[in-house]
């Protein structure tokens, strides 16, 4: 298998698509950059500078493909502490030093650093950061600026702030609070509305557009000053000339102090962890399933951080939400990162004065939502289902981080995890004696598959050895991981292995884990045991009305009906629609007796973090009688014409003008598709209600709206499917 | 090439619960190899002891076992080593405990000291038993080392005598030999190619050695070659455990110093975690 050379032609071909996704990403990066910088008490423009510098440097030197770099939310807490203790100019110096440290980490190949932190501790740390952001910005969102000492104090003050909103006398404050609440509403409800025109602009940008529109409404139509209190507007943003001429000089005077270096280390630690976690998550989203060169990326991020520090920006990290938006909008290589910063430059050049029309409270609503997502109860519930002991780790990290600081917090998490492991196994020696041993044996068996045997124990302390072995296996191979010689496997390892299983599966390989049942039987291994049992319970009598009606339909149409959740849905693989989406499960399955077609509700998520949307849709799957070409058929609208400009081609038929005008058909093999679309099939589509139809060679996927269908709609869908299936079978 | 393998087999004996099992194993092996058995007892000689040993061996004596008991007082390690020299013992059998205490690791148990210092081949038995347990699968190292040829030959001889059905030659290839570190898809592809090349090279080398072994020794035994990328000494033990080998045959180590013991490598790994019976060929 010869690798595809990244040719210049290929790059130029993908440029329009990447420019488009860069534009969408810049729409979310602009408000986020301003907000994150302000939340860290740095000048708002610092966030945008970070994104611009990061985008330019990392797009040229980075080792990942579809990631977006910029100011990270994880760093808000650390930068905030640094600025309050060191002052702004010394913080720039600390940022530069942390950039240098990151470069060194990259050269030492420490890209694996994040593996040494137990996942529950990282979750706890991120949740604490989320609470710090939420706690502080919540008050500003509601027009009540206060100053407190620690993150916990801010959180405790939240009820008072809510009460005080109802007693505001100052109209300016009331308007500020209203703007905040409305913006929060936009953030929360945006993901619930599925409309492709609305979704084209990310929620944070809608907030910006509304705010600016509101301000102009007052200025131009009511001829009145903006009613929102001036204290709650974004402070003046310097124009591009001032930014270039008045670069703040970093102050290295404090370089000998302890507080300086503790800030540097905290910045480095959080920047690397956030970047590594994001890179890992984004790699999973990549359509081409490329493997990022983590160490190269860390070096690039470090260099970008140094540059950003000198230019008055913050730490450059890889950011998950923006990266996922990038993937969802067709970003396919690093050029989208470059375009994202290019568009940011354009925004600052053209609209820097307009940005001061955004109320601070509206901007902070975005951050409150971000903070909430980091510390959402869903995370706590997820950790609880893994095991109670994980909650101890989670909360000890969380509380120590809030009360003392990030470094103490993550250390507390490490210690708590280790103590719990010792208690669970009732053996201290198991870990101490074996920690340095090369406990992983990997060899290729005669049939070409790989066998990995793990001895002693496998936890966050030594997962790296297993990881190195797994990394060295091409992902299209079959792998067996044998834990039968292993006395203990922790939750972090199981979670990581699960990630690898997904990765191998996507690339055509397979990882099978054996030997864990032995552990379970000894009942020493609650982590492993609980990880292995999927939570799959549903009360038999707990059917909804819709489910009962579906049962009735199934009798009428002579279909079999299963309402249980199904997690293994390999038949949905290969559909373009699901390429950027993560399928969680399907349920309410109505199946034809010979499995010729089936309708089901599918739950999937799109995007990550604050850009994450969970969607439930009813779909129909028809099994193809023999191999058919892969294609996508859509209604042709304004968006599709726009996509055509960005390089997506529409296949038209000369003989069927009506069809060609109304439908947007694309696929990789136009000739074959044209042959497949016989006159009968074209006429069928022309004369029937519109459905989105897609083929993955093995089958056809049909759906209409991105929501759960009503009983009537399910009937129509099945009817459409039955008739479509007969037309396909004929042709 | 000698066909008797071991002319004289020695075993250190004390009156422990394992005595009967140890003596039985040693006697059985001596019969298999047609060699003389020497029981080395650290302590004063006495009639009682001699009759005790003789009675244990009586059933083997009927099958034609030649044996001798030596008595010497002093430091056990010294006594066993000097007797080995005197009596020209070329295989010393040591009954090992499967799990040794953590602290002893640094101090070195008697068995381990002997293993390090002895000039003859050594067989470490993890569970000696009174009755015969057959030896099916032998794992032998195929390191790139001058001693390997001799070790492989011994493994086949022993395999023949004990009736083994399968011998796996494990070539441990150090990760350092793979000059490419895996970072992304491209480096993974390169490292996979390099590994494949190393694998072929190692298999060729082992095949060349196997050709020097007489056909009559190899014809009844299934031979498998298994290259492993991993830490030397450690991965072969791990492999023997995974492959459920009955005997692991290894080269004797080069002389060791204090640091080797502190940072265990090669044979030391095996000594800390005996995966199965181990034969160290001198």
Separation of alpha carbons B109 and B7, rounded Å: 27
For the domain that residue B57 is a member of, what is the CATH number? 3.40.50.620
- Examine the domain organization and report whether B25 and B107 are in the same domain: yes
Separation of alpha carbons A484 and A497, rounded Å: 16
pLDDT at A680: 85
SS3 label, residue A622: strand
Q: Distance (Å) from the C-alpha of residue A288 to the closest C-alpha of chain B?
A: 11
Q: Which helix (H) or strand (E) holds A80?
A: helix A76-86
Report if residue B279 sits inside a domain.
no
- Examine the domain organization and report whether B91 and B143 are in the same domain: no
Report if residue B253 sits inside a domain.
no
- Final residue belonging to a domain, choices B73, B101, B132: B132
DSSP string, A358-413: SBHHHHHHHHHHHHHHHT-HHHHHHHHHH-HHHHHHHHHHHHHHHHT-HHHHHHHH
pLDDT at A304: 94
pLDDT at B108: 46
For residue B107, what are its two tokens?
A: 């101090």
For residue A267, what are its two tokens?
A: 């910045």
Q: Distance (Å) from the C-alpha of residue B129 to the closest C-alpha of chain A?
A: 24
Residues β-bridged to residue B8: B36
Q: Which helix (H) or strand (E) holds A160?
A: helix A158-165
* Residues in chain A with pLDDT values less than 50: 1-5, 520-540
SS3 label, residue A640: helix
- Examine the domain organization and report whether B10 and B116 are in the same domain: yes
pLDDT at B259: 55
For residue A505, what are its two tokens?
A: 């599966």
Instruction: At B207, give phi and psi (nearest 5°).
Output: -60, -40
Report if residue B27 sits inside a domain.
yes
CB contact under 8 A, A443 and B181: no
pLDDT at A642: 65
Separation of alpha carbons A283 and A273, rounded Å: 15
Separation of alpha carbons A197 and A194, rounded Å: 9
- Secondary structure (H, E, C), A266-332: HHHHHHHHHHHHHHHHHHHHCCCCCCCCHHHHHHHHHHHHHHHHHCCCCCCEEEHHHHHHHHHCCCC
How many residue pairs bridge chain A and chain B with CB atoms within 8 Å of each other? Answer: 67
pLDDT at A644: 64
Separation of alpha carbons A630 and A574, rounded Å: 9
pLDDT at B130: 62
Report if residue B257 sits inside a domain.
no
Of B272, B15, B263, B267, nearest in space to B122 by CA: B267
pLDDT digits (tens, 9 = 90+) for B39-76: 888 777 777 877 877 887 777 777 777 778 888 888 87
CB contact under 8 A, B188 and A291: yes
- Cβ contacts (< 8 Å) between B227 and chain A: which residues? 443-444
- Cβ contacts (< 8 Å) between A481 and chain B: which residues? none
Higher local confidence (pLDDT), B96 or A85: A85
Q: What is the dihedral of CA B126, B128, B132, B138, to 10 degrees?
A: 20
Any A CB within 8 A of B182 CB: yes
Higher local confidence (pLDDT), A9 or B191: B191
How many H helices and E strands in chain B?
Answer: 11, 10
Of A688, A705, A491, nearest in space to A615 by CA: A705
Total number of domains in chain B: 2
Q: Which of B102, B104, B184 to mutate against chain A (most A CBs within 10 Å)?
A: B184
Has residue B109 got a pLDDT over 70? no
Report if residue B268 sits inside a domain.
no
Nearest 5°: the CA angle A522, A526, A527 is 130
- The gap from C-alpha A699 to its chain's centroid, in whole angstroms, comes to 29
Q: Distance (Å) from the C-alpha of residue B251 to the closest C-alpha of chain A?
A: 20
DSSP string, A686-724: HHS---EEEE-SSEEEEE-SSSPPPHHHHHHHHHHHHHH
Give the pLDDT mean for B216-220: 75
Residue of chain A with shortest Cα separation from B196: A444
How many residues does the structure list for chain A?
Answer: 731
- Examine the domain organization and report whether B116 and B151 are in the same domain: no
- The gap from C-alpha B62 to its chain's centroid, in whole angstroms, comes to 28
- Examine the domain organization and report whether B163 and B126 are in the same domain: no
Separation of alpha carbons A212 and A223, rounded Å: 15
State how beta strands A456-458 and A450-454 pair. Answer: unpaired
Between helices B19-33 and B148-162, what is the axis angle to 10°? 100
Separation of alpha carbons B58 and B60, rounded Å: 5
- Examine the domain organization and report whether B122 and B143 are in the same domain: no
Any B CB within 8 A of A63 CB: yes
> 3-state DSSP: chain A helix, strand, coil percent, rounded to 5?
60, 10, 30
Q: Which of A292, A441, A472 sits opposite B228 (nearest CB)?
A: A441
For B212, the domain range is 134-246
CB contact under 8 A, A443 and B229: yes
Any B CB within 8 A of A444 CB: yes
- Cβ contacts (< 8 Å) between A443 and chain B: which residues? 226-230, 239
- Cβ contacts (< 8 Å) between A442 and chain B: which residues? 228-230
Report if residue B258 sits inside a domain.
no
CB contact under 8 A, B226 and A443: yes
Any A CB within 8 A of B205 CB: no
What single DSSP character describes residue B120?
A: S
Q: Taking a C-beta distance cutoff of 8 angstroms, is the pair A591, A559 a contact? A: yes
User: Hunting for tokens 């009174």 — which residue is that?
Assistant: B130
Terminal-residue alpha carbon distance, chain A: 35
Between helices A360-374 and A171-190, what is the axis angle to 10°? 40
Has residue B260 got a pLDDT over 60? no
- Examine the domain organization and report whether B139 and B120 are in the same domain: no
- Examine the domain organization and report whether B166 and B66 are in the same domain: no
DSSP string, A113-159: GGGGS-HHHHHHHHHHHHHHHHHHHHHHHTT-----SSHHHHHHTHH
Separation of alpha carbons A368 and B249, rounded Å: 65
- Examine the domain organization and report whether B178 and B208 are in the same domain: yes
Q: How many CA atoms lie within 13 A of B206 on its CB side?
A: 24
- Final residue belonging to a domain, choices B132, B166, B192: B132
Report if residue B145 sits inside a domain.
yes
Report if residue B99 sits inside a domain.
yes
- Examine the domain organization and report whether B62 and B164 are in the same domain: no
State how beta strands A450-454 and A478-482 pair. Answer: parallel
Higher local confidence (pLDDT), A230 or B201: B201
Neighbours of A579 (CB within 10 A): 14
Global ipTM: 0.80
Any A CB within 8 A of B176 CB: no
- Examine the domain organization and report whether B102 and B138 are in the same domain: no
- Examine the domain organization and report whether B190 and B171 are in the same domain: yes
- Cβ contacts (< 8 Å) between A433 and chain B: which residues? 102
State how beta strands A456-458 and A486-489 pair. Answer: parallel
Separation of alpha carbons A329 and A312, rounded Å: 30
Confidence band, pLDDT 50/70/90 cuts, at residue B265 = low
């Amino acid at each position: 298998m010869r690798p595809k050379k990244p040719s210049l032609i290929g790059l130029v071909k993908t440029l329009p698509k990447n420019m488009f996704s860069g534009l969408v990403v810049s729409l979310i990066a602009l408000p986020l950059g301003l907000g994150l910088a302000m939340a860290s008490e740095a000048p708002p423009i610092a966030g945008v500078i970070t994104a611009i510098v990061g985008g330019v440097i990392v797009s040229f030197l980075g080792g990942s493909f579809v990631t977006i770099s910029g100011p990270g939310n994880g760093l808000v807490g650390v930068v905030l502490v640094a600025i309050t203790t060191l002052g702004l100019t010394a913080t720039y110096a600390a940022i530069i030093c942390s950039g240098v440290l990151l470069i060194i980490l990259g050269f030492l190949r420490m890209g694996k650093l994040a593996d040494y932190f137990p996942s529950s501790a990282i979750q706890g740390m991120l949740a604490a950061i989320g609470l710090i952001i939420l706690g502080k910005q919540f008050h500003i969102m509601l027009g009540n600026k206060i100053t407190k000492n620690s993150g916990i104090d801010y959180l405790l003050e939240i009820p008072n702030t809510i009460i005080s909103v109802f007693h505001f006398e100052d109209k300016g404050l009331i308007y500020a609070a209203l703007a905040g609440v409305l913006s929060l509403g936009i953030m929360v409800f945006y993901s619930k509305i599925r409309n492709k025109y609305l979704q084209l602009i990310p929620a944070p940008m809608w907030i910006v557009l509304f705010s600016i529109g509101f301000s102009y409404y007052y200025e131009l139509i009511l001829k009145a000053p903006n009613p929102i209190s001036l204290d709650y507007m974004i402070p003046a943003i310097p124009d591009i000339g001032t930014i270039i001429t008045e670069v703040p000089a970093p102050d290295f005077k404090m370089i000998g102090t302890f507080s300086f270096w503790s800030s540097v280390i905290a910045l480095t630690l959080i920047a690397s962890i956030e970047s590594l976690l994001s890179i890992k998550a984004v790699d999973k989203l990549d359509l081409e399933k490329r493997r990022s060169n983590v160490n190269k990326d860390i070096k690039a991020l470090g260099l970008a951080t140094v540059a950003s520090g000198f230019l008055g920006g913050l730490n450059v990290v890889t950011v998950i939400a923006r990266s996922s938006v990038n993937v969802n909008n067709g970003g396919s290589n690093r050029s989208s990162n470059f375009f994202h910063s290019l568009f940011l430059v354009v925004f600052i050049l053209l609209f820097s004065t307009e940005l001061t029309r955004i109320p601070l409270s509206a901007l902070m609503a975005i951050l409150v939502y971000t903070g909430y997502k980091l510390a959402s109860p869903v995370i706590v519930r997820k950790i609880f289902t893994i095991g109670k002991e994980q909650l101890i780790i989670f909360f000890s990290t969380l509380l120590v981080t809030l009360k003392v600081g990030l470094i103490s917090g993550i250390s507390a998490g490490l210690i708590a995890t280790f103590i719990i492991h010792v208690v669970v196994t009732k053996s201290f020696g198991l870990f101490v004696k074996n920690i340095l041993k090369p406990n992983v044996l990997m060899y290729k068996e005669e049939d070409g598959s790989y066998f990995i045997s793990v001895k002693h124990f496998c936890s966050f302390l030594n997962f790296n050895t297993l990881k190195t072995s797994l990394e060295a296996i091409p992902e299209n191979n079959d792998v067996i991981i044998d834990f039968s010689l292993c006395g203990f496997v922790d939750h972090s390892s199981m979670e990581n292995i699960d990630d690898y299983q997904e990765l191998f599966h996507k690339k055509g390989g397979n990882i099978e884990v054996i030997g864990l049942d032995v552990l379970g039987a000894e009942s020493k291994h609650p982590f492993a045991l609980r990880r292995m049992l999927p939570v799959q319970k549903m009360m038999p009598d707990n059917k909804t009305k819709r489910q009962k009606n579906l049962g009735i339909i199934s009798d009428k149409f002579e279909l079999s009906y299963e309402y249980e959740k199904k997690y293994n849905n390999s038949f949905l693989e290969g559909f373009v629609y699901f390429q950027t989406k993560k399928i969680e499960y399907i349920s309410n399955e109505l199946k034809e007796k010979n499995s010729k077609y089936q309708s089901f509700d599918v739950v999937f998520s799109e995007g990550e973090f604050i850009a994450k949307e969970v969607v439930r849709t009813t779909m129909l799957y028809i099994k193809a009688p023999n191999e058919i070409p892969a294609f996508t058929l859509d209604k042709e609208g304004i968006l599709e014409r726009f996509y055509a400009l960005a390089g997506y081609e529409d296949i038209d038929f000369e003989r069927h003008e009506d069809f060609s005008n109304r439908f947007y058909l694309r696929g990789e093999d136009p000739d074959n598709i044209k042959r497949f679309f016989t006159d009968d099939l074209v006429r069928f589509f022309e004369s029937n209600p519109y459905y989105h139809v897609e083929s993955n060679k093995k089958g056809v996927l049909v759906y209409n709206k991105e929501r759960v269908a009503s009983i009537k709609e399910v009937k129509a869908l099945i009817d459409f499917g039955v008739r479509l299936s007969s037309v396909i079978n004929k042709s | 090439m000698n066909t008797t393998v071991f002319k004289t087999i020695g075993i250190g004996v004390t009156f422990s619960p394992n005595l009967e099992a140890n003596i039985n194993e040693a006697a059985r092996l001596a019969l298999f190899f047609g060699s003389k058995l020497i029981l080395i007892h650290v302590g004063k000689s006495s009639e009682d002891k001699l009759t005790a040993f003789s009675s244990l061996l009586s059933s083997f004596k009927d099958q034609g076992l030649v044996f001798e008991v030596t008595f010497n007082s002093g430091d056990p390690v010294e006594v066993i080593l000097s007797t080995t020299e005197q009596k020209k013992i070329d295989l010393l059998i040591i009954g090992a405990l499967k799990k040794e205490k953590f602290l002893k690791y640094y101090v070195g148990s008697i068995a381990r000291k002997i293993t390090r210092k002895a000039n003859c081949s050594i067989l470490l038995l993890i569970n000696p038993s009174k009755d015969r347990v057959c030896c099916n699968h032998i794992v032998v190292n195929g390191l790139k080392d001058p001693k390997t040829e001799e070790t492989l030959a011994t493994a086949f001889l022993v395999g023949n005598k004990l009736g083994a059905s399968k011998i796996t030659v494990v070539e441990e290839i150090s990760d350092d030999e793979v000059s490419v570190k895996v970072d992304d898809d491209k480096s993974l592809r390169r490292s996979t190619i390099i590994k494949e090349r190393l694998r072929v090279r190692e298999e060729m080398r082992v095949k060349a050695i196997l050709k020097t072994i007489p056909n009559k020794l190899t014809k009844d035994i299934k031979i498998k070659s298994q290259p492993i990328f991993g830490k030397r000494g450690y991965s072969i033990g791990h492999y023997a455990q995974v492959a459920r080998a009955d005997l692991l045959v290894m080269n004797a180590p080069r002389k060791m110093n204090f640091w080797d013991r502190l940072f265990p490598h090669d044979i030391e790994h095996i000594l800390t975690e005996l995966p199965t019976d181990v034969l160290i060929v001198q």
